[in-house]
Every structure is written in C-alpha cells, then in structure tokens.
Amino acid sequence: MKVFKFGGASVKDASAVRNIFKILSDLPEKEQLVVVVSAMGKTTNALEDIYRKAHQRQEFAPALESSKAYHLDIVRELFPDPGCPVYAEVAAQFQELEQTLSSLQPDHWDQQYDQVISRGELLSSIILHHYLQSQGLSTYWLDCRTCLRTDSTWREGRLDWTYTENQIQSTLPAILQKQIVITQGFIGGTADGLTTTLGREGSDYSAAIFAYCLNAASLTIWKDVPGLLNADPKLFKEATRYDEVAYQEAIEMAYYGASVIHPKTIQPLANKCIPLYVKSFLHPELPGTVIHDCQHGKIAPSFILKQNQCLLSFKAKDLGFISEEHLSAIFQAVHAVRLKINMMQNSALSFSVCCDYDEARVQQLKLSLSDQFIIKYNQPLHLFTIQNYDKGSIQRLTNGREILMEQRTRHTFQFVSRPTDTIEH
Ligand SMILES: Nc1ncnc2c1ncn2[C@@H]1O[C@H](COP(=O)(O)OP(=O)(O)O)[C@@H](O)[C@H]1O
Ligand SMILES: N[C@@H](CC(=O)OP(=O)(O)O)C(=O)O
C-alpha cells in the first residue's frame, strides 16, 4: 500500500481538486491508498487571522465570510447538484466554527487555536472525498482524530505512537482492501476528544505517521515544484532538482528550514526504510526526487533561508563569565516559553541565540530572566544555511551582506544577517 499527501497548493481551487482525481485514476486498480490532505490554498493563514481577531474581540465576520465564500465557490464548481450531501457537511463545519469563535475564553489561547485552525483540513478532506466519490472512486472519509492520538501540547501535539499504531493497524487494513482512505493532515486528537495540531506545515508529518504505521511501500508528497531542489525556486534563481537524496541529508535540509518538507517527516520513514517521493502534481509523469537509504558522492550545495529570525544576547548582570549555571537558566527559560533556537554562540561575557521571532514569547523570556541578565534583541533577521558548501557558494550568498553571527562545520555554513531587497546579490 502507498500513502499520498496533497498540500494546500494541490487543493487550492476546483481544477486542482480535479487534477487529484486525474492522478488517482491513473493508478493501478488494486492499489491500496491513504490520501492525506492539507487545508485548501492559504486557508490555515486565513483561519489564524480570523482566530486572532475573534480572540482580540475585533470584527472577524467579514474574514470568516470570505473563507466560507472561498470554500463554497469551489464546492459549487465541483458539485452542480445542490442536493449533494457535501453542501450540508461544509455548512455544518462552518456552523461549528462560528460557535467556537463566539464562545472563546480569554485564556487557553493555544488550546482554542487548535479547535479553530483544524477546520481547514476537515473542510478540504470532506470536499475531496465527495468529489472523488462523485467521479466513481470508492473512498472512505476518516476522521484522523480518532487514530492520531496526541498529548495536549497544543499547537504541537506529541504523538502517542503506541496508541496510534494500534488504532491505525486495527482499523485501516480492512477498509483499504475496498476503499481509498481520505484523511486530514496536520491534526490529531487527545484522549479527552479535543483536537490538536502538529505544528504549522505538519501534514507531511501526518502522512509519514500513516506510512510508518501501515508499513507502506512509499510515501509521495505532491508539490508545485518538480521535486526537492537545492534551493527554494521562489527565492533563488537557477535552483536545480536532486534525483535522489539520502535520508540524513533531507533531515538536515528540513531542519535548517527547507520548507518543502516538514522537519519531522523523514525520521519515521527512515526507521522503516520507506522511500519518500517528492513529485510535481502538475507533471506527475516526471520522476521527481526520491529520498531514501542511499550512498552517493557529495551533492550540489543547498541554500536555505529562514526568515523572521531574532538574535538575542544575554549578559550576566554581575558581568561574570557565562557559566554552565547561566546557560542552564537560559535554556530552561527558552524551553518554558517554547522559543525555537536555530543557532547559538557564546563568548566570555555574553551568550547569543538566533531563534524564530515571536514577540510575545520573547517578552515572556525577557521577563523571566531579567533578574539575572541584561537581554538585548535584534529583529527581523535572516538565517542562511549552506549545506555542502564550497568557496563559491559562500561568496555567492555573503556578498554585500552585513553578517551578525556566523558558524561553520565540516558540511554546513550558517550566518545571520539583516534582510536586504534581494536574496542573491
Ligand atoms: N529545497 C526546496 N525544494 C523545492 N521547493 C522548495 C524548497 N524550499 C522551499 N521550497 C518551496 O516549497 C514550496 C512547496 O511547499 P509548500 O508551500 O509547503 O506546499 P504545500 O503547502 O502545497 O504542501 C515550493 O513552492 C517552494 O517555493
Ligand atoms: N494547513 C497546515 C498544514 C500543512 O502542512 O499545510 P501544507 O501541506 O499546505 O504545507 C498549514 O498550512 O500549516
């Protein structure tokens, strides 16, 4: 059996949904398949905006109406018959969403976020399931919250692998004998029946969980790019495709910020040697990239940019050296506010970290450490990483930039700098 994952771009409008049917109908008839789908287009961003407004008691109705209209336009185009049950199911999703939004509690920001933001994947999977059925495919809509059990770490649910594996293995194989399973990426459920999310862009990870639990022959993630490239083509000219990449290299690329694959995706696949194909949904006939257990020589340098970074520096108030005790206090506080460190460096009197910028979390951190440290920060910044660097690739990227922090290991070169108008000079 195989697992396919379709991201937001591959369900962004009615013709994209039709294209999925085309890809699936080209498969051999007996192929057993789980299809994991993300929210349509930029729905998750739209829901975040609606949620923020609702939480701050601002007018959110127009933004909600616009998301509803976006989904309904797609539904109308795909289902000319207004009696099709998809209309009632989509309406019910929006009704429940409105109920949640109008009864928000002032606290529990992260918990309520998950209850709201998860609607995007529920909507897209319902629409895709009904469309594939209307075209003659036999599909089964699975509410993945019944299988993917997480703890209640809101916005970044941690998976209960044992429960999830048992649940998936005891329910799905029988269904897969007869039907294609359509389910949601990005979301899971707690033992109390609440919804969790797995971290932004987490649908790839969901697909890897299904592939792992079902011992799939492969996972394919369908993208708007021809495969895994050595850079984001939206930012770097002349990005080139890798034919094959080893698991470890792909883990590193995702970790450093290559947003084409969620960082947690590869590990479960590598543990069972399940190949991951990155393929173009626009050109499904092309080979794409395979990420698997392979040995090859040095691959072309890859260029990775993480935006919206912040450089924090900590100095002990007594002007003492940065000791292990200081570092321990800093790490505990960083962990408590859930800031993500991407690079760090220490000198005699100060310790610096580059992390994803989140104003509220940075302020919380400053508050919790202000007794011991003088804390300064600088943002917005860019973090560049070059894997498999050489002299030319470093020159190409650093040229004309002011570098605020830099680090080099045998394979990886990283630096933090201020944003400039163009990525390449
Ligand atoms: N190394 C890379 N190779 C290919 N695409 C990349 C890479 N790094 C970033 N991207 C970006 O990832 C995008 C596809 O991922 P994403 O937007 O998450 O798709 P979806 O939401 O449809 O799953 C591409 O359009 C491309 O701009
Ligand atoms: N919809 C979620 C999960 C996801 O993975 O989406 P995509 O596959 O479109 O990156 C998000 O945008 O974060």
pLDDT band at 424 (very low <50, low <70, confident <90, very high): low
Least Cα distance to 306 among 361, 268, 343 occurs for 343
Per-residue pLDDT tens digits for 162-201: 999 999 999 999 999 999 999 999 999 999 999 999 999 9
The pLDDT of residue 14 is above 70: yes
Q: Six-digit token pair at 31?
A: 């192929």
Is the shortest distance between the CB of 362 and ligand 1 below 6 Å?
Answer: no
- What whole-number distance in Å separates Cα of residue 266 and Cα of residue 72? 35
The owner of tokens 């649940």 is: 167
SS3 404: strand
Comparing 33-37, 44-48, 106-110, the range with the smallest average pLDDT is 106-110
How much is the pTM?
0.92
| CA 40 – ligand 2 centroid, Å | 9
Give how far Cα 285 sits from Cα of 26, 91, 280, Å: 10, 37, 8
Atom index in ligand 2 nearest the CA of residue 7 equals 8
- Does this complex have an ipTM over 0.95? yes
Is the shortest distance between the CB of 247 and ligand 2 below 6 Å?
Answer: no
Structural domains of the chain, with CATH: 2-216 (3.40.1160.10), 302-417 (3.30.2130.10)
Average of pLDDT values for 221-238?
94
What's the pLDDT score for residue 423? 67
Is the shortest distance between the CB of 260 and ligand 1 below 6 Å?
Answer: yes
Least Cα distance to 184 among 245, 244, 119, 240 occurs for 119
